[in-house]
Copies of this chain bind each other. A is one copy, B any other.
């Protein structure tokens, strides 16, 4: 846990007029629940707002930068940019997870590494920048920290489909996924998965769900193929 909020403001390249908004964005429910009597609020309402700001800014960005892309493709591309694992990665790029206020139980069970908590804080941060600095500052932040590296994000999002397609075209064998490890207690499991081409490992991945681990494995295989 890091409470040097001036450092965070440097990382996100935005300085808050109202610091309470920043603190509110960083407050997970588990912390607010433990400190309810002090009037501390969680970040869920800000996340609700930030999610909508992100949706608009990413839609506007795709609409303007991809003038010939059909609506269906824009919808799919937007989904790859605003899905939970992608936003959690965006958040980790700025080290946001360090700054989140977590309750004790959540901290002990590894909540600081959980995609849902980290991506929710990222959306709440967007909501708080929007309230503090308006749509233009929120747009600047989103373009810098969420709408970068689009090709890789698309590849990651569609990795299972793309890998299957390439293997079909190359006719090199049969793709499957195998669980190679399971660690942690039931409520906080981590899966290790191998992407297999026939009986050869071509990629590996980890995740809190089997699907997330498979996606990671497919993505790692795609990166080798390139």
A-side interface residues toward B, CB under 8 Å?
44-45, 47-49, 51-53, 55-56, 58-60, 63, 69-71, 74-75, 135
Would you give 11 A-B contacts (Cβ < 8 Å), ordered by A? A48-B59, A48-B63, A48-B74, A48-B75, A49-B60, A49-B63, A52-B52, A52-B56, A52-B59, A52-B60, A56-B56
Copies per assembly = 2
| Chain B positions within 8 Å of A49 at CB level | 59-60, 63
| Partner of A48 from B47, B48, B71, B135 at Cβ < 8 Å | B71
- CB closest chain-B residue, reference A50: B59
User: Which residues of chain B are near A51, meaning CB under 8 Å?
Assistant: 59
Q: Name the B residues within 8 Å of A58 (CB-CB).
A: 52
Q: Which residue of B lies closest to A75 (CB)?
A: B48
Q: How far is the CB of A16 from chain B (nearest CB, A)?
A: 18
Shortest A185–chain B CB gap in Å is: 28
Set of chain B residues within 8 Å of A63, measured between Cβ atoms: 45, 48-49
Shortest CB distance A56–B (Å):
4
Name the residue among A60, A71, A75 with the largest chain B CB count within 10 angstroms: A71
Q: Which residues of B contact A44 (CB under 8 A)?
A: 70-71
